[in-house]
Structures are given as C-alpha cells and as structure tokens.
Amino acid sequence: MLSIEISGNADLRKALRRFAPDLEKELRKELRAALSPVAQKAKSYVTEDAPMRGWRGRAFSEAKFPIYNANTIRKGIGYRVTPGKVNRNGFSSMASIYNSSAAGAIYEIAGIRSEKGQPWVGPKAGGASKKVSRSVNPQAGEQFIRNLPAPTSSLKGRGRLIYRAWANSRGVAEGAAMKAIDKATREFYKRAKDTTFRRAA
C-alpha cells in the first residue's frame, strides 16, 4: 500500500486518549479537514477509461496483472486520522493518505524508476519474479508508461494520484495537519500544568 504519512510523537496520542479525549476528538476532526480534500482531489485524477485498451477488465480474464477499474482505484484512496505503528525512535504516523488497490498503485508509480518499465524476459522465462516483464511484446512496459500521465513530484514522493494531489495542495494540507497537532500538544501541556489529569473512563 502506498501512503503519505504525517509523523509525530506516538506518546502524545496515547496521552490524549487517556487523559484528554476531547482534545483527541478535536485533533481527529481537524486532521480530517486537512486531509480529506487531498484524498478527494486524488480520486478526481482517476480516469474512467483505462490508459491502454489491454488494461481494461475482460470477461473470464485469467490475467494476473490487476485489471483497471476506476471505481476500485477510487475506493482504494482514502485517509486515516488514527496513529500507525511506533518506530524505533518513538514516532508514528499521526495521520496518512493512502492508495491501497493494486491497480491504483500501478497507476500511481509505474515508470517512476525507469521510463522503459521493468526489464523484459518474455513469457517463456523461468522464475516467479514480479520485477520483470513477461509480455510477448518487448516494448510493452515502455508503451504502457507512455500512455500514463506524467508523474508529479512532491516532498513525499512522485506519483499520479495521491502524490500529485499532495504536491498540488502546495503545503496547505501538511501545514493544517501540523498546526492541529501543535495546537493539541500545547493545550495538553497547558492543562497538565493547571490540573492533575484523571484517566478517562
């Protein structure tokens, strides 16, 4: 799954949930307001028609390559305002925007590393690697990428859906998210000075 993460101190969210659930609720609300427009904009970049005729869904298809379905790709784009797993440094994702469908991930980042696509080995090559092209057409990868929109660069990465939407927000979404986190942090520590917290039921 591809994602854009807003990182922060994992202990803050734990403390908010335990001792200041009203601040946690307000933080979630503000994070949703910051990230929802980006997710919606990313969905708007998904075209109804597949970039290539051969990528459309086919009746009784046995293809292993994920078929293009605009609704599936849109449904796979969203956001979370709940914390992710804590890393070694005690930080976690405070919120994230994600692109979770297999076809959506292909649309997002195909050709990012190479405009020629994956190395071609042909349909008769052995092995099970997914990092090579087994198409009968040696130029299939290059042609496929040429039919996709050019990727857009953002500070979080390059892509055609969530990364493009993130870049086009021009820092507004990240600024609003960080402002909300900072506001919750300052209010929490202010309360900690003024009163003794009791764990929320």
Pairing mode, if any, of strands 2-9 and 152-154?
Answer: unpaired
Q: To the nearest whole percent, how much of the chain has pLDDT over 90?
A: 53
The chain-wide mean pLDDT, for the chain, equals 85
- Mean pLDDT is highest, among 86-90, 98-102, 131-135, 195-199, for 98-102
Q: Domain segments of the chain: what residues?
A: 2-110+151-194, 114-147
Please state, in angstroms and as integers, the Cα–Cα distance from residue 138 to each residue in 63, 64, 103, 107, 190, following that order.
18, 18, 21, 20, 64
Compute the average pLDDT of residues 155-166. Answer: 97
Task: Specify the pTM.
Answer: 0.84
Question: How would you write 163-177 as a 3-class SS string?
Answer: HHHHHHCCCHHHHHH
pLDDT attached to residue 120: 61
Compute the average pLDDT of residues 58-72. Answer: 72
pLDDT surpasses 60 at 59 = no
pLDDT surpasses 60 at 41 = yes
Compute the average pLDDT of residues 177-183. Answer: 95
Q: Label residue 62 by pLDDT band (50, 70, 90).
A: very low
pLDDT surpasses 80 at 195 = no
